[in-house]
């Protein structure tokens, strides 16, 4: 399964260029880490560059058109190649962004695990729009600073 994981405001802001995440919410960070720990992660090169180190215990796959190698990380030149590599590790690929990658993967993702930050923050990198004709809500959970919603693609 291809699973998108993102945190966004209600206006779908996921980041601000040059800043990264516009918020710093410990509760959301812990929730996010609980989801992706030990998983096979697919991410764009810009998202990877913002992380201090690869996520412990899982497999990290970075998509870039540039040449290069990163320690403990698979580097793939296309999204298809990254998804194929993820499948070598197991059935589920957790696609964690950023905006460019979400836009290219949302059309064929199976599930989405989205955290909606309650406060609005300004930014210029967005999660793509999607229609509830294509997605259904499986679970919704309220936290003090965000609401967590799990979606799956309608059959």
Q: What are the residues binding ligand NAP (CB under 6 A)?
A: 6-8, 14-15, 20-21, 44-47, 50, 63-66, 77-79, 96-101, 104, 125
Question: Between 81 and 92, whose beta carbon lies closer to ligand NAP?
Answer: 81
For the chain, where are the alpha helices, taking DSSP H only?
Answer: 26-36, 45-50, 79-89, 99-105
CA dist., res. 115 & res. 143, Å (int)? 10
Question: Between 8 and 83, whose beta carbon lies closer to ligand NAP?
Answer: 8
Peptide bond connecting 12 to the previous residue in cis, omega within 30 degrees of 0: no
Tell me the closest approach of the beta carbon of residue 138 to ligand NAP, in angstroms: 19
Tokens of 63: 């998509």
Distances (CA, A) of 119 to 31, 116, 127, 129: 17, 9, 16, 19
Tell me the closest approach of the beta carbon of residue 155 to ligand NAP, in angstroms: 26
Question: Between 33 and 154, whose beta carbon lies closer to ligand NAP?
Answer: 33
Tell me the closest approach of the beta carbon of residue 83 to ligand NAP, in angstroms: 11
Tell me the closest approach of the beta carbon of residue 104 to ligand NAP, in angstroms: 6
DSSP secondary structure, 72-102, as one string:
TEEEESSHHHHHHHHHHH-S-EEE---HHHH
Question: Between 27 and 154, whose beta carbon lies closer to ligand NAP?
Answer: 27
């Amino acid at each position: 399964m291809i699973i998108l994981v993102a945190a966004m405001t209600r206006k779908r802001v996921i980041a601000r260029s040059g800043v990264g995440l516009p918020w710093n919410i410990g509760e959301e960070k812990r929730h996010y880490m609980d989801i992706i720990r030990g998983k096979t992660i697919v991410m764009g090169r810009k998202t990877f560059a913002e992380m201090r180190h690869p996520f412990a215990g899982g497999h990290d796959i970075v998509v870039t058109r540039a040449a290069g190698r990163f320690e403990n990380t698979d580097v793939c030149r296309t999204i298809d190649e990254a998804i194929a590599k993820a499948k070598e590790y197991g059935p589920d690929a957790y696609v964690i962004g950023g905006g460019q990658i979400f836009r290219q993967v949302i059309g064929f993702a199976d599930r989405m695990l989205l955290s909606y930050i309650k406060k609005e923050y300004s930014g210029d990198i967005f999660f793509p729009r999607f229609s509830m004709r294509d997605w259904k809500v499986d679970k919704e959970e309220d936290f003090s600073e965000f609401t967590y919603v799990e979606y799956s693609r309608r059959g």
